[in-house]
Amino acid sequence: MMIKSAEFTVSNTKISKLPLPTLAEYAFIGRSNVGKSSLINMLVGVKGLAKTSQKPGKTQLINHFLINDSWFIVDLPGYGYAKSSKSNRHEWAKFIRHYLEKRESLQCVFVLIDSRLEPQKIDIEFCCSLGERGIPFVLLFTKADKQGAPKSQQNMAAFRKALLEFFEEIPPMILTSAENHLGKDDVLKMIDETNQNFVVPEFNLPQ
Ligand SMILES: Nc1nc2c(ncn2[C@@H]2O[C@H](COP(=O)(O)OP(=O)(O)OP(=O)(O)O)[C@@H](O)[C@H]2O)c(=O)[nH]1
Ligand SMILES: [Mg+2]
Q: Which uninterrupted H or E stretch holds 202?
A: none
Q: For each of the domains in the chain, give its residue range(s) and CATH number, in order of start.
A: 6-196 (3.40.50.300)
pLDDT value for 60: 66
Question: For every one of its 207 residues, what pLDDT tens digit does the chain have, with 9 covering 90 and above?
Answer: 999 999 999 988 888 889 999 999 999 999 989 999 999 999 999 998 888 777 766 666 889 999 999 999 999 888 876 566 777 777 778 888 889 999 999 999 999 999 999 999 999 999 999 999 999 999 999 999 999 999 999 999 999 999 999 999 999 999 999 999 999 999 999 999 999 999 999 888 876
151 lines ligand 1 (CB under 6 A): no
Cβ pair 50, 75 in contact under 8 A: yes
Looking at residue 38, the DSSP 8-state letter turns out to be H
Centroid of ligand 1 to alpha carbon of 36 (angstroms): 6
Q: Which ligand is nearest to the CA of 143?
A: 1
pLDDT value for 56: 66
Nearest ligand 1 atom, CA 34: 19
**Cα–Cα distance list, 28 to 59, 139, 149, 158, 205 (Å):** 11, 10, 23, 22, 25
How far is residue 193 CA from its own chain's centroid? 17
Nearest CA to ligand 1 atom 2: 143
Centroid of ligand 1 to alpha carbon of 54 (angstroms): 7
- Main-chain dihedrals φ then ψ at residue 52, nearest 5 degrees: -115, 165
pLDDT value for 192: 98
59 lines ligand 1 (CB under 6 A): yes
pLDDT value for 16: 82
